[in-house]
Amino acid sequence: MIDRVLTVAVTAVTLACIVRLMLLRRQRRENQPTDGSTDVAHALMGIGMIAMFLPPVLPPGAWAALFIANAAWMGMLALRRRPARAYLHHLVGGLAMAYMFAATRSHEPMSHQLSLSTAHSSGHSHGNALAVVEAQPAGFAFPLVAWILLIYCLLSAGFAGTDLLRPATPRLTATTELVLSLSMGYMFLTTL
């Protein structure tokens, strides 16, 4: 049930980011200065999360490489633009997504249910979330990194939630951050 609700919510905010990117493209043609890099990061993260909830389209390694490239791009933007905080946040988000995909491998080619579980509970699934993957055995680092990223996602969701209470905050950006952070936190929780 939670998987379906999160899939619908992530799909909705991802589509909203894609529509906003198309509108920004039109604004660029009209010579209005715009910066759609955070919308690109949001859309990419949303697409990656949707991919985790569905049968695999690309191998996990390809997704991980895509998110590492996104994180590198966000790192370059953080060095060039101010304020750098938003770009650094998306750098961490990109690395978290890369970590999630890199920590997975194909389980059974015929299976279309996700089984994210750590080495201490192989064969045991914490629900039917995500896509056709099983965690790689990674020793102590995997749960520690997953816990750190889970806490980061929950803090990010908390900040996004408080941003929604402020009158001057862009609602779509705050809502997108809230949905994506909660969804990513849920995904990390299912790995623990």
User: CA 52 to CA 119: how far, in whole Å?
Assistant: 19
Q: Taken in order 100, 57, 54, 38, is the CA torsion positive or negative?
A: positive
Distances (CA, A) of 179 to 35, 72, 128: 21, 23, 19
Task: Answer yes or no: is pLDDT of 61 > 50.
Answer: yes
What's the burial of 129, exposed, middle or buried (CB within 10 Å: 0-12/13-18/19+)? Answer: buried
Interval 103-149: pLDDT, tens: 765 444 333 444 443 334 444 344 444 433 344 444 345 788 889 99
Task: Answer yes or no: is pLDDT of 184 > 60.
Answer: yes
Q: What is the pLDDT of residue 51?
A: 85
Instruction: Count the Cβ atoms, other than its own, within 10 Å of residue 48.
Output: 25
Predicted TM-score of the model (pTM): 0.73
In sequence order, which residues have a C-beta less than 8 Å from that of residue 124 and are 6 or more positions away? Answer: 117
If we measure between CA atoms, which residue out of 146, 122, 141 comes closest to residue 133? 122
Q: What is the CA radius of gyration of the chain?
A: 17
Q: What is the pLDDT of residue 35?
A: 63
